[in-house]
Structures are given as structure tokens and as C-alpha cells.
Amino acid sequence: MNEYDSAVIKEMLKENGFVYTNSPDAANIVIVNGCVVREKPEKKEFELLKYYKKRGKFVVSAGCLAQKDKEALLEFSDLVVGPMEYDNLPEIIKRRGVFTDYNKERDKFYEYARKRDEVGFSEYVTIMTGCDNFCTYCVVPFTRGREKSRPPWDIIDEVKGLIAKGTKEITLIGQNVNSYFYEGVDFKDLLQMISKLNVKRIRFTTSHPRDISLAVFDIMAKKDNIMPHIHLPVQTGSNKLLKEMRRGYTREEYIYIVDAARKIIPDIVISADIMVGYPTETEEDFLSTLDLVKRVQFDYAYMFIYSPRKPSIAYYRYKEQLPKEVAVRRHRRLVETVQQIVIKKRKDMIGKTYEVMIDGHAKKNEGLSRGKTRGNITVVVEKHIPEGEFIKVKITHVNGATPIGKPIKT
Ligand code: SAH
Ligand code: SF4
């Protein structure tokens, strides 16, 4: 989400006479578009703000970062601008102060989003902003405001423009894409509309287990350009905690969705976000999470240790936190469990052939390429192939958890 916003901000400012530089040291104005969902990145963002402020730059705090701490941020920045205020950015960028109303429209912002000319083979497109869920641990509803869906024609215009400029993969983004709704058009309708455009690969994130409908899987199964991958954060395998977190589903319901998805789309890749160390998490709750992970056999997962985030519900609700060493130990155990499953799954890829879209070269060897399968698994290809090309790759072996393969002629 922030990546997309940054790309549009860049376009907006360029069109309004500002010159972009990749090197903050050479810039007069430095914009830090920060995420505050977890504590660690937020700390880094504060360091960046202080660093550039000390060096005499005009420093702008943007994104959720701006929305969360508002006035306090003025100590480290000149301008504080929330994500729903970007329409005014070209006018306010040289002013000082706090602009964080989140009931604003984003018409101009999306106009610039459609105008973006520097586009890659793979691009994000925002379909909705905000979130109404108020999961207890989460700051997003406070930083991004109420859920707001973008008109389908506006989304389609942007996607068409990107395709015309060479984009091959579009990822539709929103905090909870499944609750997309605009004048009678729901998420499955939107997916269907986008799939009719000449786009090679369509992805979407994030899905919510409470709101996803099986009809979405039916469409994914029918449309060859909708990729067989779903990112479906589960957070915990404990029903008690799911309820406390206000997630709105049970572990049984989650398993039902996953099983249904695999039945409808046999090669679907399923990934999730999982959290440990919620203040009331017992050893038994944690074991339910491990058990769920083994039952579901995730293809990959992002795993986090809970951190209290002001002004989330949990921040005020729980006076005491779990001892850090307990959370760290659980996190380690969870990572190990997921990793074992992931390695097994990657080894299962050996001997099979996958369509890969090349997105760069391998980290340690420029002669090798790197790309993603339709299911969003990164693989290394033993040949130099230009970015954006599609090739068939036969996996020959696995290095750690990275599948490696050779291109094959079809
Ligand atoms: N809208 C998405 C993701 C939001 S934030 C969803 O509903 O799943 C991305 C992930 O960050 C969450 O899925 C959660 O696992 C993690 N996260 C959010 N708040 C957190 C907190 N306070 N501490 C640790 N992890 C958190
Ligand atoms: Fe946060 Fe829950 Fe909304 Fe996701 S669904 S953004 S976790 S409140």
C-alpha cells in the first residue's frame, strides 16, 4: 500500500514541478512514507526523520506514520500529511503543520495514479482504502480511516493504462479486498471485470477469512489470468484468541475455507500472517496455532510477535504483556514449524514445470534469473533472462527453501 502511494506521490510532485532524486542526501525535501503496524519499522522511520531533520532537510512524515502520532511528529518533521490528504500534497508540501483528516476524497491522487508513466512489469493498484474491522491489536482503522471502495471504472482505467504502458502483472490492493463494494459491484464482480482486460497476471491482497466468498475461488478457477494464490491472514489457531481479537471466524471456519479453496483450485498457494505473543496467549493457545499450521500446510507465512500499538483496542485493554522471552521462544518455534513445511513443499516442486515471470537476477549471481510462479513462489532460473519475460521452468533442485530450475522449450 505504501509502495503504491509513494509511486503516485512521486508522479504528483513531478507533474507539479518538483524534481525527483533517488538520493535523500541530495534532496531538499525528504518524504518518509511510513508504516506503523508494528513497532520495529516505526522505530526505524523515526530515526530516518531525525537524521534528515538534523541535516537541514525539509522533512515530510507521510502515510500511517503521520496519522498515528500527528503533533508529536512535528518535533522531527516540518510537515505531517496523512494518507487521505494526498490530494492536497502539491499545494501543502512547502508549508509546515499537520494535515491528517481522513475523511477526504482521493480524486486527484487517483488521477495522478492513472497518469503514472514510469511503470514496471508488475504494479499495484489500490481498490479500496481504510478498514472497518478494528481487530483489537491493529492500528490500521485509526491510521487509514473508514473503509472506502474506489469506483470500478476508475480502477479499470488505471489498469488499462498500466497494460498499455507495458505492465503484465497487476496486484489489486486493500486492507480487506473481499469487502470491496461500490454501487452494486462486489469483489468477485470487480475481479471478473479486470480479468476481461488484456492483463497476463492478476493478483490481490489482503483477503479476510470472514469476508471471502467461495464465489471468488470459482472465478479464480475459471479465469486463467487470475493467479492461484491467496494471502489469508489467520493470526492464531486458538478460537479463544480469535474471538478476543475480534477476527470474526473460528479455526474450523478457516480450515473449511482453505479446504474449499484447494478443492476448487487444486494448485492454489495459500499464505498467511500469523501472530504470537498476544497478551492473553497461553501455551495451549500457542499449541493450537502450531496445530493449525500443520493442518493447513501453508505454502509460506509472515510471522510476527505482537507489539502493543497505540491507539489500538488491545493497547488500552491489556495492562500486562507476556514476558518477551516467552513470545520470542514461541515465535522461533513457529518459524521452525512453518519452515519445515515450506521446505517440504518446495522439494515437492522438483521435477515439475512452472510458468515463471522473470523479475530480476538472483541475489548472489547475476548470471541467474529470479522470478515468480503463478502461485507467487520465488524460483531461481539457471539462465540469464530479461525482466518481464514469461518462461516455463522445470525445477531440478532446492537450495534451502529456494527452488532452482532450468528453462524448458515448449
Ligand atoms: N489487513 C490485513 C493486514 C493488516 S497488517 C489483515 O487483516 O490481515 C499486516 C499484519 O501485521 C497483520 O495480519 C498482523 O499479522 C500483523 N500485525 C498487525 N498489528 C500487529 C501488532 N500490533 N503486533 C504484531 N503484528 C501485528
Ligand atoms: Fe487491521 Fe483487522 Fe483491518 Fe486487517 S482487518 S487492517 S488486521 S483491523
Q: Where are the domains of the chain?
A: 2-99, 107-347, 353-408
Could you tell me the distance, in angstroms and rounded to a whole number, from the CA of residue 135 to the centre of ligand 2?
A: 5
Q: What pTM value is reported for the model?
A: 0.93
Closest to 34 measured CA to CA, from 23, 48, 22, 45 = 45
Cell 514541478 belongs to 17
40 Cβ contact list (under 8 Å, min separation 6)? 307
Regarding the beta carbon of 232 and ligand 1, being less than 6 Å apart is answered: no
Q: How many CA atoms lie within 13 A of 409 on its CB side?
A: 0
Render each residue's pLDDT in the chain as its tens digit; 410 residues: 888 999 999 999 998 999 999 899 999 999 999 988 988 888 899 999 999 999 999 999 999 888 887 778 888 899 999 988 999 899 899 888 888 887 788 888 898 888 888 899 999 999 999 999 999 999 999 988 899 999 999 999 999 999 999 999 999 999 999 999 999 999 999 999 999 999 999 999 999 999 999 999 999 999 999 999 999 999 999 999 999 999 999 999 999 999 999 999 999 999 999 999 999 999 999 999 999 999 999 999 999 999 999 999 999 999 999 999 999 999 999 999 999 999 999 999 999 999 999 999 877 777 899 999 999 999 999 999 999 999 999 999 999 999 999 999 76
Could you tell me the distance, in angstroms and rounded to a whole number, from the CA of residue 142 to the centre of ligand 1?
A: 13
Report the interhelical angle of 251-264 vs 283-296 (nearest 10°).
10
Could you tell me the distance, in angstroms and rounded to a whole number, from the CA of residue 367 to the centre of ligand 1?
A: 37
The pick from 42, 138, 331, 334 for probing ligand 1's pocket by mutation, whose C-beta has the most ligand atoms within 8 angstroms, reads 138
Query: Which CATH number does the domain 107-347 belong to among 1.10.3720.10, 3.40.50.10860, 3.80.30.20, 2.60.40.10?
Result: 3.80.30.20
For the domain spanning 353-408, the CATH number is 2.40.50.140
CA dihedral 67, 68, 72, 73 (to 10 degrees): -60
pLDDT number for residue 71: 77
pLDDT number for residue 105: 84
Could you tell me the distance, in angstroms and rounded to a whole number, from the CA of residue 336 to the centre of ligand 1?
A: 20
Ligand 1 atom closest to the Cα of residue 131 is: 1
The residue whose CA is least distant from atom 2 of ligand 2 is 135
Which residue spans within 236-284 are E strands per DSSP?
A: 269-276
Q: Which backbone phi and psi does 16 adopt, to 5 degrees? A: -105, 25
Could you tell me the distance, in angstroms and rounded to a whole number, from the CA of residue 258 to the centre of ligand 1?
A: 20
71 Cβ contact list (under 8 Å, min separation 6)? 80, 98
CB 79 within 8 A of CB 102: no
Q: Which three cell numbers stand for residue 109?
A: 491522487
For residues 145 and 147, give the distance between their C-alpha atoms in angstroms, rounded to a whole number: 7
User: May I ask the CATH class of domain 2-99?
Assistant: alpha beta
For residues 195 and 219, give the distance between their C-alpha atoms in angstroms, rounded to a whole number: 9
Regarding the beta carbon of 175 and ligand 1, being less than 6 Å apart is answered: yes
Which residue spans within 308-377 are E strands per DSSP?
A: 353-362, 365-373
The pick from 38, 236, 328 for probing ligand 1's pocket by mutation, whose C-beta has the most ligand atoms within 8 angstroms, reads 38
User: How many residues can be counted in the chain?
Assistant: 410
The pick from 35, 64, 131 for probing ligand 2's pocket by mutation, whose C-beta has the most ligand atoms within 8 angstroms, reads 131
- The one-letter code for the residue type at 212 is I
Strand pairing partners for 303?
274
What DSSP line would sit under 128-194, residue for residue? EE------TT--HHHHT-S-EEPPHHHHHHHHHHHHHTT--EEEEE-TTGGG-EETTEEHHHHHHHH
Sheet with 122-126: list strands edge to edge: 122-126, 169-173, 201-205
Task: Please tell me the number of the ligand nearest to residue 308's CA.
Answer: 1
Task: Please tell me the number of the ligand nearest to residue 36's CA.
Answer: 1
For residues 381 and 410, give the distance between their C-alpha atoms in angstroms, rounded to a whole number: 16
pLDDT number for residue 86: 92
CB 172 within 8 A of CB 284: no
Task: Please tell me the number of the ligand nearest to residue 134's CA.
Answer: 2
For residues 192 and 204, give the distance between their C-alpha atoms in angstroms, rounded to a whole number: 13
**Cα distances (Å, whole numbers) of residue 21 to 3, 142, 334:** 16, 32, 41
Residues with CB under 6 A from ligand 2: 131, 133-135, 138, 140-141, 175-176, 208
- Domains 2-99 and 353-408 fall in the same CATH topology: no
Could you tell me the distance, in angstroms and rounded to a whole number, from the CA of residue 217 to the centre of ligand 2?
A: 22
